[in-house]
Structure 1
């Protein structure tokens, strides 16, 4: 939340940040393991590991930081 307050204050170099799903790291590790083992992903139509995966995220700026403050954490 402290980064979002800095963005809101607009008095430093941090002007924006992005959200990301909390499961992102776990998914990345599972996919990396599949790649290392030369396996595919059974729940995809194609049995090859995709070259890239795009995750949904939101850009947090001073205009919308208030909306995301409850989701933030102190660092």
Structure 2
């Protein structure tokens, strides 16, 4: 029976070491400061749209829709 107890103690110690490692890794990730923004992060959108002219007419929208469906082969 002492062989079983020794084996269980080894398993318990191994599980404790793994758990302690996970706590260190997860805790470090949660406490780490946010990285500086880099170029691949999208910039904030401007408060005004890039074009503030009049909207398209219904005829322009219909023509664009027909051209897109024809190009896709759906129309």
Mark the structure with the bigger radius of gyration.
2
TM above 0.5 = no
Relative contact order higher in (CA < 8 Å, ≥ 6 apart): 1
TM-score, with structure 2 as normaliser: 0.24
Which structure shows the higher helix fraction?
A: 2
The structure carrying a bigger strand percent of its residues is 1
TM-score by length of 1: 0.24
